[in-house]
Structure 1
Amino acid sequence: MILALRALGVGDLATATPALRALRVAHPDRELVLAAPGWLAPLVDLVGGIDRLVPTDGLGRPDPALRTPRIAVNLHGRGPESHRLLDSTRPGRLLAYANPEAGHHDGPDWRVDEHEVDRWCRLLDWYGIPADRADLDLRRPPPADAPAGVTVLHPGSKVPAKRWPPGRFAALARQLTARGHRVVLTGSPDERATAQRIADAAGLPVDAVLAGRTDLGELAALVAYARLVVSGDTGVAHLATGYRTASVVLFGPVSPARWGPPPERGRHRALWAGAGYRPRWDGMGSHPTLAAIGVDEVLAAVDEAERAVRVSGAVAA
């Protein structure tokens, strides 16, 4: 058994896709087990190549099903907690970043400013397992009951600092609707009230508010067949990358150099006001580097992303 630990969220799993696929190629005849939160199961199926998901929330005691893997791979962090959790499964070998505190002196050194995709590809490459950082495409699910060809606005985030102001999402929704976009608003059940306020301010119909009404599989299908996605630096943005759905991702405070879509894919645009900008911040609301992004700037990025889609379609034809 090959055991990979990634007990995090949607974007974390999506950015680990090239590394997981590299493990599959390197060990085609062994069971590949992923330790990750159980609610990610629909996305695990869309990554492909993973034989079994062992539900793992956080870094507490490991599930008994994780005992004695031939190889354990720490795709979660640099330790020591994640290293120790994997060590407790008594693996034949641990592939991980070096962490003397955890007693693991093997492996490469951690780089703080590295892109998340590159981080895990570099780890495996250090151990002689080549990984393709561009291998981010997800399996396309069957069309769901949700509408196709919509423009998805995702205003929420688990991190308040990463939320673009709701008033700007409302203004953006009005502008996009006037341009002929069918706008829907997604999010968690806790974000439904905010999505409803945005919809009311933008004059959107009741059925445009999908926040709290889709599970992860349905959300993935919605993004896979969408016209466009606009969101903050959160999991939905990585789904758009995985499906090559045109997207505009609003960053702050973290740079897109660490979590952004591949710059070589023109249909994804990352907006960030943080380069050389050191604003004062009281820790409340949207981070200033995110709040500095205006609606007109987002609309211009939408035009660029959709133009890239048209160009790529013409080339393919």
Structure 2
Amino acid sequence: MILVLRALGVGDLAAGVPALRALRAAFPDRTLALAAPAWLTPLIELIGGVDRIVATDGLATPPVVPAPELAVNLHGSGPESHRLLQALRPARMWAFANAGAGHLDGPTWAEEEHEVRRWCRLLSHYDVRADPGDLSLAVPGVDGPRGVTIVHPGAKSPARRWPHFAAVARKLAERGQDVVVTGSAGERDLALTVARDAGLPPTAVLAGDTGLDELAALVAHARLLVSGDTGIAHLATAYRTPSVVLFGPVPPRRWGPPPDRAYHRAIWHGTRAERGDTMDPGVHPALLRVSVDEVLAAADEAEKARHAFAA
């Protein structure tokens, strides 16, 4: 069995897709198990090639599995994640070098590296080639709205919540676009506020009403996504849905969409990367420099670029 650790969230899973597919291709006759949160199962099934999901939420408890032939750390640079896998006594472990965990044969961690390329480089160190552009997901076969414009105001940390999504939603609706507001169940109040301030009816609020497969289908069939740097932006990348993603405090060079796809527009007005998921109150200054007009112009550019690509 090949056991891969990636016990994180939606965006993290999406960023690890090229590495997971490369491992599948490198070990076609082995069971490929992914240690990840069970709630991600609907998205994991859209990747293809994962034989087993081992429910693992964070690093508090090691996965309950027999000793794997190979353990691959796609979670972090350690030492906690390294030690969690070492506790399983794998025959081999592929991971970034970490002296504190006694793992020295891996490549050196590069803090400013893009998250997708990071894991591709890890595998290349062990002579497994991964394509960083292999980011697509299967489209779920579920019913739902098509052709909508998605505005997603929420994010894990307050620092990444731009305060002007309602103004953008109002302008896009005035242009005749069918605007919906998405988010988690915990973000429903925020989504209702954005919809109200945008002049949208409560029925436009889908926050808390979509499972992961329904959200993926919504994005796959959407006209446009406008969001902060959060998991849904990676779904837009996976489905080549035009998107405008607002970054701060972490720049797009670390988590952004592929720069060669003009129909994904990343907006960043920061000067340096900072820790992203601080729970301190206040929006990051890089986001506060983003204007409504700038977002609307980027939305126009993204849609035009997607039409040109499809032509």
TM range (shorter): over 0.9
**1:79 corresponds to:** 78
SS of 2:168's equivalent in the other structure is helix
* Structure 1 segments of 4+ aligned residues over 2 angstroms from their partners: 275-278
Q: Take 2:218 and 2:267, find their aligned partners in 1: how far apart are those partners?
A: 23
Which of 267, 275, 283 lines up with 1:271 in the alignment?
A: 267
SS of 1:231's equivalent in the other structure is strand
SS of 2:13's equivalent in the other structure is helix
Which of 218, 224, 244 lines up with 1:222 in the alignment?
A: 218
Deviations 1:154-206 (A, max 9, x none): 100111100000xx111101100111110000001111111111111111012
Deviations 1:201-226 (A, max 9, x none): 11101210001111111111111111
Alpha-carbon deviation of 1:142? 1.4
SS of 1:94's equivalent in the other structure is strand
Alpha carbons of structure 1 residues 54 and 230: separation in structure 2 relative to 1, 3 Å = same
**2:115 corresponds to:** 116
SS of 1:54's equivalent in the other structure is strand
Alpha carbons of structure 1 residues 112 and 54: separation in structure 2 relative to 1, 3 Å = same
Gaps of 5+ in 2: 275-279
**1:5 corresponds to:** 5
Q: Take 1:277 and 1:111, find their aligned partners in 2: how far apart are those partners?
A: 13
**1:25 corresponds to:** 25
Q: Is the 8 A contact 2:250 2:273 kept in 1?
A: no
SS of 1:301's equivalent in the other structure is helix
**2:196 corresponds to:** 200
Give 2:155's aligned amino acid. S
Q: Take 1:265 and 1:29, find their aligned partners in 2: how far apart are those partners?
A: 34
Q: Take 1:152 and 1:181, find their aligned partners in 2: how far apart are those partners?
A: 10
User: What is the aligned length?
Assistant: 307
Q: Is the 8 A contact 2:3 2:70 kept in 1?
A: yes
Alpha-carbon deviation of 1:276? 7.0
**2:253 corresponds to:** 257
Q: Take 2:183 and 2:194, find their aligned partners in 1: how far apart are those partners?
A: 12
Deviations 1:124-181 (A, max 9, x none): 000000000000011111142x21110011100111100000xx11110110011111
Answer yes or no: is 1:37 the counterpart of 2:37. Answer: yes
Relative to the length of structure 2, the TM-score reads: 0.96
Q: Take 1:116 and 1:246, find their aligned partners in 2: how far apart are those partners?
A: 21
Gaps of 5+ in 1: none
Kindly report which structure 2 residues correspond to 1:1-317, keeping only aligned pairs within 5 A, or say none: 1-64=1-64, 66-144=65-143, 146-165=144-163, 168-275=164-271, 283-314=280-311
Deviations 1:18-74 (A, max 9, x none): 00000000000000000000000000001111001011011122232x221110000
Alpha carbons of structure 1 residues 8 and 277: separation in structure 2 relative to 1, 3 Å = closer
Q: Is the 8 A contact 2:251 2:273 kept in 1?
A: no
Give 1:84's aligned amino acid. R
Give 2:106's aligned amino acid. G
What percentage of aligned pairs have identical amino acids? 63
CA RMSD in angstroms comes to 1.4
Give 1:288's aligned amino acid. P
Give 1:305's aligned amino acid. A
Give 1:225's aligned amino acid. H
Alpha carbons of structure 1 residues 202 and 277: separation in structure 2 relative to 1, 3 Å = same
